[in-house]
Structure 1
Amino acid sequence: MARLHEYQGKAILAANGFEIPRGRAASTADQAVAAAKGLAGGEMGGEVVIKIQAWTTGRAGIGGVAFAKKPDDVRAHAARMLAMKVGQFPVEAVLVEEKIDIEREFFLSFAIDDAARAPVIIFAVGGGSGIEERAASTRRIACDVNCGPLDSAVGEAVASCGLSPVHAAQLAESIQRLFAAARSVEARSLEINPLVLTKGGQFVAADCRITIDDYAVVRHPELGIEIAREFDHPPTALERVAYAVEQNDHRGTFYFAQLATIAAKDSKGLVGFHGAGGGGSMMSMDAIVNAGFTIANFTDTSGNPSASKVYRAARIILAQPDLVGYFGSGSGVASQEQYWSAYGLAKAFWELDLDIPAVIRLGGNTEDRAVDILQRMSKLLRAPVEGYRKTDAPATIAGRFAELVGSAGGTKWKPRAPRMPKFVKNKSATMLPVKGGRVWIDTARWSQIRPAVETHSSGLIVDRAGAPAAALPNEEFANKDSELLACDVECRLAGVEGFYLELDILGLEQLIGGAR
């Protein structure tokens, strides 16, 4: 489920009638100081709290919550927090709020009870950390999917708190508002911990956590959710690039998530991981971890992906620095044609002049052809690429991968722009548009390369009046990008120069800086 930061969740609560502390988010120390001063009309008039905006619990325990009375202290805390990493990913924002005087605390949480197929609200007297250990003292407030919390259940929960009639009515209203807030954005969960009763007699949402149903994200552009998936960190620039690939090409699945940016202590190094199929990928990840490596990313291309999609996935995996190798292994029983994946990988490896070892297990239909493609491409690369079949166990090929990495002499991957033939984009070259890219043909060499191109393109490109041309109408030809990618690879393997498929990956070149 897609997550929102605390400050974003509080905006939703405020829109649904909750009182929230005054404050705002900041992405620099200067902005944090300005936010603190803004709470008192230009000068700090009281104590503020600074909190990291990160999708984790126990922020105070890792130095992610601090109080300050002076601008210099705000600046120091904000600068320190914005230099922190949660897991291996940087903190990008802090929330600066007024400190509130707390009289009592309560716990409120909306969730979807999958077993009951209905929403439920969990309520407890006493908020803060350790609510899980106090599960026996919580109350479940049943909810009608249309009308919200049942009045009788709300009344029983509030009556147990020993509040004055005025405060009891306010708490009951807060419980009703929690349901309304969650429903307004189709949340899967919305937790206020704590909901506080201040010494001034107000109920205030002091903290909140919220997740949105992935399928509802498209209906709520106002939330600004970039990726409708659950991460343990805000989407990285590379994850944004990968998600755009998935959204622009629905042929098969492409899932990419970064897991680590540095290798664990005593690890043999970071590995770019490329799976195919959830269960087999998990087993293969276990194998590579057991072989002593740290997995940099999780990637899945399954469901009969196009060769172009696999190519883009490989390019994105190899946009991560300091990898010691590329490990691909999936279910081993996939019904998809494995040679399309092999072509996509082969093209990416050649374009990037791969200089770290790669071990690829492509089990399933046409696996022999897939292995042959990888083995032939390996001869054109600086590092070995080895292909394996479904009969080769993940643990076995992980062991072989470790041997290859050990023989590589400590080489670490440096992301780079793809190499492409010199004739590409030449005014005299023939250009034919395809889905997400373009075919380039060296017109000056057409008479020499024509037999190979016509053969390897399966007749998609033909001769017309002595020049190369598409054999199909433009729209139909444009959707043959995978077949044309295969032609690109086969021409390369045959030593035929003059044909190249250029495929766009929006935003990737900016990330790697275009360096070779």
Structure 2
Amino acid sequence: MSKLYEFQSKKLLKEGGIRVPAGDVASSPAEVREIAQRIGKPVVLKIQVWLTGRAGLGGIQFAETSEEAEDAASKMFGMKVKNFVIDKILVEEKLKIKSEYFAGLVIDDSKKSPLLIFSSAGGTGIEEIARSHPENVSQISIDVLTGLREYEARNLIRKTGISGKLLLQLSDVLTKFYKVARHYDARSAEMNPLVLTEDNLVYAADCHLTIDDYAVFRHPELGIEVAREFDRPPTLLEKIAYQVEEKDYRGTFYFFQMAEEVSKDEKLIGFHGAGGGGSMMSMDAVLARGFKLANFCDTSGNPSASKVYRASKIILSQPDIRGYFASGSGVASQEQYHSARGMVKAFHEEKLSIPGVIRLGGNFEEKAIEILGNYLKDIPAKVEGYGRRDSPEFCAQRLEELIKENQSACYEVKSVVDPALPPNCYSFETLTGKLAIDHEKCPDCGTKGCIEACKAEVLKLEDGKPVLSVSPEEAKKGKCTECLACEIFCTFHEQDAIFIHLPIPGLKEYREKIIKKNKA
């Protein structure tokens, strides 16, 4: 689930007609001062993190003047709060609160409907309040076809002992709250506290929304860069990786960095899993050997070879790793030769200088292991392929031995080099890239094996040269599956005339930053 910050959530509530405190988000102490001056009243400063209990972490401060606000902010910016470094502070008017309430909305999977909870005794420790004072807490399952109707909201609040004008105010807020959450496909939402001020107005003093990952594409206005549940802001490399997943529906590509800053004496490796359970078991095997994981990666659900290629390139964009370990489920139904071809292309482009152990268990694993063995002989480092009968523990042991043979050398991130294609080469667009063929080399090809290698049958011979057998539009829509088989065959058996360019937006610039940092 994708979490929104408090300031983002409040913006949505305000647009939905719910009253929120006057204020704005700041990125510097000077901005904090400016916002406090604009408010012209005592203010509260709140760090913007996806955490609860901010007050106990020093993340909520009060100030009577703009000068005090600026001074407090100067101490708050740059704070390390769990996995967050504070770079945003919400500055708001300090409300004069008469009483506090709680409103929370979650999706009840058992009933397959939204569940709205209201408390007239606030929301701090809502579970305990519900146990010890059940008369103060009520809930209702909402029919998504009708939404939360006003009389239902009134009845919900009335059960907690509230009546009169306050009942009407709160019921109006709850119906609007539900509409906001429903419109933005929230899996959970809460206003905690929802407050009544001394001038008898209801405000959402704090609120949080969590958006369904699968609905994020419907809400580009929210600016969610990575539709994943994180306990920290996503790294730049994670953002680059997510773009690959977002734009290619074939299989899953999940990438999460686990050790962005490490010392060079640590046994750091790149991890490439396939399937959740098998990946966890494989991670345990390498961790038991004293390795530290630079990342977690999962390519499963029958990904294309091009997707696995991009995953490998992204894993190899992390400096100072000493080995590459790929292992996951031993019984995956996906064709393992797609993964093998993706890695072969990536490792050759990278001129891989650190050892790799690749365990590909599942359909056609023998063919996949053969591909790895045949086409990774000439790269600087040794890469070994294994199948389901080889345990993750054995494979982890082999990686440890290979790293020792390689004298524990660390990987150096290389620049992304754009392909130097002949100006008049034959080419067509694929679903996520471009396939180019240098027809000037084709007369010297004795086998024309690229045609047989292309199981999707999108290539045919015309005057002794491979060309599209389908329209360019069909190839671009996915008829060309980007299996990489034609390129692998031509590169290693014939004239090296075929190249499939699979760009990764942002990776070239990212690597240049890493290279520059390492040289400094």
TM-score, length basis structure 1: 0.85
Q: Give the stretch that moved more between structures: 81-90 or 499-508.
A: 81-90
Q: Cα gap change, 1:481/1:408 in structure 2, threshold over 3 Å: closer, same or farther?
A: farther
Matches within 5 A, 1:239-258: 239-258=238-257
Matches within 5 A, 1:174-185: 174-185=173-184
**Aligned mate of 1:65, from 60, 71, 83:** 60
Match of 2:354 in 1: 356
Match of 2:433 in 1: 437
CA contact (8 A) 1:252 1:304 kept: yes
Q: Give the stretch that moved more between structures: 227-236 or 305-314.
A: 227-236
* Counterpart amino acid of residue 245 in structure 2: E
SS in 2 for 1:343: helix
Q: Give the stretch that moved more between structures: 174-183 or 477-486.
A: 477-486
Deviation at 1:420, TM superposition (A): 6.4
**Aligned mate of 1:103, from 76, 83, 98:** 98
* Counterpart amino acid of residue 185 in structure 1: Y
Q: Distance in 2 between matches of 1:221 and 1:88?
A: 26
Per-residue Cα deviation, 1:156-209 (whole angstroms, up to 9, x for no partner) = 2134xxxx8444543444444433332332322111111223333332211111
Match of 1:27 in 2: 27
CA contact (8 A) 1:120 1:140 kept: no
Q: Distance in 2 between matches of 1:288 and 1:472?
A: 46
Query: Is the aligned partner of 1:339 residue 2:334?
Result: no
Match of 2:45 in 1: 50
CA contact (8 A) 1:453 1:499 kept: no
Q: Cα gap change, 1:60/1:286 in structure 2, threshold over 3 Å: closer, same or farther?
A: farther
Deviation at 1:341, TM superposition (A): 0.6
* Counterpart amino acid of residue 97 in structure 1: E
Deviation at 1:25, TM superposition (A): 1.6
SS in 2 for 1:346: helix
Q: Distance in 2 between matches of 1:393 and 1:455?
A: 37
Match of 1:83 in 2: 78
Matches within 5 A, 1:244-393: 244-263=243-262, 268-393=266-391
Deviation at 1:311, TM superposition (A): 0.7
TM-score, length basis structure 2: 0.85
Q: Give the stretch that moved more between structures: 452-461 or 225-234.
A: 452-461
Deviation at 1:339, TM superposition (A): 0.8
SS in 1 for 2:484: helix
Q: Give the stretch that moved more between structures: 369-378 or 71-80.
A: 71-80
SS in 2 for 1:55: coil
CA contact (8 A) 1:416 1:512 kept: yes
SS in 1 for 2:200: coil
Deviation at 1:351, TM superposition (A): 0.9
Q: Give the stretch that moved more between structures: 11-20 or 118-127.
A: 118-127
Q: Give the stretch that moved more between structures: 307-316 or 497-506.
A: 497-506
* Counterpart amino acid of residue 354 in structure 2: I
SS in 2 for 1:61: helix
Q: Give the stretch that moved more between structures: 475-484 or 181-190.
A: 475-484
Q: Distance in 2 between matches of 1:410 and 1:87?
A: 32
Match of 2:518 in 1: none
Q: Distance in 1 between matches of 2:246 and 2:341?
A: 22
Match of 1:93 in 2: 88
Q: Give the stretch that moved more between structures: 358-367 or 73-82.
A: 73-82
Q: Distance in 1 between matches of 2:207 and 2:219?
A: 19
CA contact (8 A) 1:461 1:471 kept: yes
Match of 1:39 in 2: 39
Q: Distance in 1 between matches of 2:264 and 2:193?
A: 40
Q: What's the Cα RMSD here? A: 3.3
* Counterpart amino acid of residue 114 in structure 1: D
Matches within 5 A, 1:218-229: 218-229=217-228
Matches within 5 A, 1:113-512: 113-127=108-122, 129-136=124-131, 137=133, 139-145=137-143, 146-148=146-148, 149=152, 151-159=154-162, 165-263=164-262, 268-419=266-417, 424-427=420-423, 429-449=425-445, 451=447, 454=450, 457-458=453-454, 464-465=462-463, 469-478=467-476, 479=478, 481-482=480-481, 485-494=484-493, 496-512=495-511
Q: Distance in 1 between matches of 2:301 and 2:401?
A: 31
CA contact (8 A) 1:110 1:121 kept: yes
Q: Distance in 1 between matches of 2:396 and 2:117?
A: 46
Deviation at 1:26, TM superposition (A): 2.5
* Counterpart amino acid of residue 62 in structure 1: L
* Counterpart amino acid of residue 110 in structure 2: A
Match of 1:43 in 2: none
Q: Cα gap change, 1:101/1:267 in structure 2, threshold over 3 Å: closer, same or farther?
A: farther
* Counterpart amino acid of residue 500 in structure 2: L
Q: Distance in 1 between matches of 2:339 and 2:20?
A: 51
Deviation at 1:308, TM superposition (A): 0.9
* Counterpart amino acid of residue 160 in structure 2: A
SS in 2 for 1:120: strand
SS in 2 for 1:109: strand
Per-residue Cα deviation, 1:492-515 (whole angstroms, up to 9, x for no partner) = 444854432221222222222288
* Counterpart amino acid of residue 23 in structure 2: G
Extract unaligned runs of 5+ from structure 2.
Answer: 516-520
Q: Distance in 1 between matches of 2:6 and 2:169?
A: 23
Q: Cα gap change, 1:207/1:150 in structure 2, threshold over 3 Å: closer, same or farther?
A: closer
Q: Give the stretch that moved more between structures: 109-118 or 29-38.
A: 29-38
Extract unaligned runs of 5+ from structure 1.
Answer: 41-45
Q: Distance in 1 between matches of 2:219 and 2:370?
A: 47
Q: Cα gap change, 1:480/1:488 in structure 2, threshold over 3 Å: closer, same or farther?
A: farther
Q: Give the stretch that moved more between structures: 86-95 or 343-352.
A: 86-95
Q: Cα gap change, 1:175/1:438 in structure 2, threshold over 3 Å: closer, same or farther?
A: closer
Alignment identity in percent? 43
* Counterpart amino acid of residue 242 in structure 1: A
Q: Cα gap change, 1:490/1:30 in structure 2, threshold over 3 Å: closer, same or farther?
A: farther
